[in-house]
Structures are given as structure tokens and as C-alpha cells.
Amino acid sequence: MELKDKVDILAAAAKYDVSCSSSGSSRMGEKGGLGNAHPAGICHSWSDDGRCISLLKILLTNQCIYDCKYCVNRASNDTPRVMLTPDELSSLTINFYRRNYIEGLFLSSGVVKSPDYTMERMIEAVKKLRQEYRFHGYIHLKAIPGCDRRLLVEAGMLVDRMSVNIEMPTGESLKLLAPQKKKEALIGPMRFIKDRIAEERDSYKTLRNTPKFIPAGQTTQMIVGASPENDLRILTLSEGLYRSFRMKRVYYSAFMPVVSHPMLPAVDKPPLLREHRLYQADWLLRFYGFSTGELLDPDHPNLDFLVDPKSDWAVRNYHLFPVEINTVDYEMLLRIPGIGVKSAEKIVQARRVRTLDDDNLKKIGVVWKRARHFITCQGRFYGDSFRQEDQLKQELMPYHTAKKLRTDGGEQLSFFHEILPQSDLQNLFLVKAGEI
């Protein structure tokens, strides 16, 4: 088979891996070498400073000994199977880089023969890039669960970021949909990588020339929508992963109905809106000081599709508002809808020298349409008075969301009137949005 045909097949099979953020690496280029992961991140994603970056995302092979029900590359699926040699993969990466098509590599693989064999082949390809081609650009490697720990160490000294997919939110779902994989086999490498990173960090304090082990840290990915877990269960797991394994990022991949199976839900489209809400909630956990228990609870186990998680929390806790913008502490500033991390920092800095009003807040970058319902400026309240939570939600809904809720006849619903309960409203929006 021609190399082009192999690339077409393996690149298409790799698109379901979403852990491709490259921020955090500090690998510097050297004279006579190729690439540099320090000044510019890698992959078709967004870096921490807002840059769009490119990455060759490809599988070493789509052959696999596992038969995970949700995977397009599962052993029982009738699809062409190909495999790149380490020489082909390294040469391909360098040629793409020299043509300025990419800035680095995201390498994953199906499991062929055994985890050790697959991992050895992936390491061989990365070694060729680093040592023969002297490539110093960004490399993200998907570790193969079940491989020898020595291979993880060897790979970690060569790549910038490594990830082990947790696959399913619970062990029960993993056992049902991927019976050949064990939860312990996924958690074990994560714990080993975390401990090794900590060891290398301690060594670096005394020996500055210590080689860095996975300098950009580790990430993981789970599939959302293939199993019945609610958002509370998913975010509780994510919170635990951040706390226990110091994850740089947990990625949520909406279930893609690319293969059919009696154990999989019958859906026409992936639950992209749910995936989006999970990312928003995840952001609140990482940067806004929220906990999962504040966003969701057993009586409210799923994120609201009509408004973002922060707005939903603020509406349900409206008794805490309004707060005076000139005196409220930084932690509470972050919880006000329409105020982000950068805006909150600017507010804290600005009010040291003057008393802020609404014009000042608009210039700072506060989303006034949302924030005005939750704050006072110099004692003045600019919001509306609402008798019901649903009325406030209507004000906080994005315009395009509200537009989707209009009737076919052009008459606009009284969105939150008694004639249409909240649950029915949400279902109506999902139908129009193509979610159900």
C-alpha cells in the first residue's frame, strides 16, 4: 500500500483523540536541529495565550487486539488495517514540518500484538525524530496501558506530553463496553507518571541539568454519552483526577456513533452541547475556585443546557446577590456571571485607585448584560427584578439559544411561562439543536 493511502486511513482514525493541547512545554531548539516547542505550541488547537497551532495527529497503526464496543478501530470492525514503520512515521513528520504544514506530532496507536510491542515501535519512531533528525518540536504521545514501566520512563524522556485515556467514567461502564481493559491498568500508569514527574521536579532543584520527564505533564480523555453516567458522576471523577494525579487537562469526547452495537445508545449525532457544558464546568473547577458539589448535586445531577454552568449556579444561589463591586472579595468576583479571571484581576487593581461605576466595568471587559443582575456599583443596582428563577435564566441565555426556542409560526414563546415546564423547554431546545 502506498504511503499516502496509509496516511489517509490512519489520520482519519486518529481524529477521535482530542487530547492535543500543547501548552506548557519548554523544550528549546538547538543549533543545527529542527523545531522548537518553547515559543510556539503545537497542534490544531488553542494555546494558553490564544494562538492557533498545528499538529500532525496520526496513529502508528489502526490494528488492535482489543474489541472496545465504542471504538472505530475495534478488532471486530471490518475496516482496512495498516501500520506505519518508525522510519515512515519519522520521515513523514519531518517532511511535513519542513513544508511548514505542522509544528509537531501527536502520536497514538491501536494495540498490535501486545502493549509492550506497540509502545516499543512508538518509542522507536520518536527516537528517530529526536536523535537522527534532531527534531526539538512538540511531541504528544499516547501511552499504551499495560506496557512495561521502563518503556514509560524511556518515552517520557523523549516527549513533551503523555496521556493515558481513562476511556469511561466508571469501572462498570468500562467493564461493559471495553471488557478487555481494566480500570487498574489505566490508573496505574497515571499514578506512575505523576510520581515520576514529582521525583524529577525534586531532582531538578539540586541538579539543574537533570533531563526533564514529560515537561508538559499528562492528560487524559473520557467518552461522554456512550454510557448512562450523569454529569455529577463525570465531574466528580474529573475533580479526583486533577487532585490525585495532577492532570494538566481532562478531555471530554462526545460519543461519535461511527459504529453500531446493541450495547451502545442509538443516536444520530454526538452530544456536542453536553460536551461543551462539561468543558465550561471543568474550567470553573480549574480556574474559578468552584467544586463539583457546588455546581451539581443529587437533586440537580446534570448541567443545564440553556445557560452556562456559572450562570446556572448564580441563579440557584441568587440569595447571595447582589454584591457591591467595589468591596466584594476576589473569590466572589470570579463567581459573578459576566466576569472572568482577567476581568476580576483588572477590577481588583482598578478599585485600589478609584471607585468603579458601570462605565468602568464595561471598559474593563465585563459582560454587562449578565453581570448587572448580580452586582451594585456604588450602591446602585442596574439589573431587573425577577420573581422567578426562570425569568432570570431567560435574560442570561445567549441570543442564538433563545432564537432556537421560537415557534415555527414566528410567535415567540413566553419561554418560562407555566404552559411549558422547564424540563419540556430543555427538551425542545435539544430537539431543535439536533441533540435528541
DSSP string of 189-225, one letter each residue: HHHHHHHHHHHHHHHHHH-TTPPPSSTT-EEEEEEES
pLDDT of residue 4: 86
Q: Is the pLDDT of residue 261 over 50?
A: yes
Burial of 13 from C-beta contacts in 10 A (0-12 / 13-18 / 19+): buried
Q: Which residue has the higher pLDDT, 20 or 204?
A: 204
Closest C-alpha among 246, 250, 223 to residue 167: 223
Give percent of the chain with pLDDT exceeding 90.
Answer: 61
The whole-angstrom separation of Cα 350 and Cα 356 is: 8
Whole-prediction pTM value? 0.85
Concatenated DSSP letters for 232-278?
Answer: HHHHHHHHHHHHHH--SEEEEEEPP-SS--TTS---SS--HHHHHHH
| Range in 142-151, 397-406, 410-419 the model is least confident about | 410-419
Least confident of 213-217, 330-334, 349-353, 396-400: 396-400
Q: What is the mean pLDDT of residues 213-237?
A: 94
pLDDT at 398: 80
What are the chain's domains? 3-295 (3.20.20.70), 309-433 (no CATH)
Q: Long-range CB contacts (< 8 A, 24+ apart) of 294-298?
A: 295/235, 296/231, 296/232, 296/235, 297/232, 298/232
pLDDT at 278 over 80: yes
- Report which of residues 207 and 104 the model is more confident about: 104
Of the candidates 253, 230, 361, 246, the one whose C-alpha atom is nearest the C-alpha of residue 303 is: 230
Q: How many CB atoms lie within 10 A of CB 261?
A: 16
Q: Which of 121, 115, 181, 126 is nearest to 157 (CA)?
A: 126
Confidence label for 263 from pLDDT (cuts 50, 70 and 90): confident
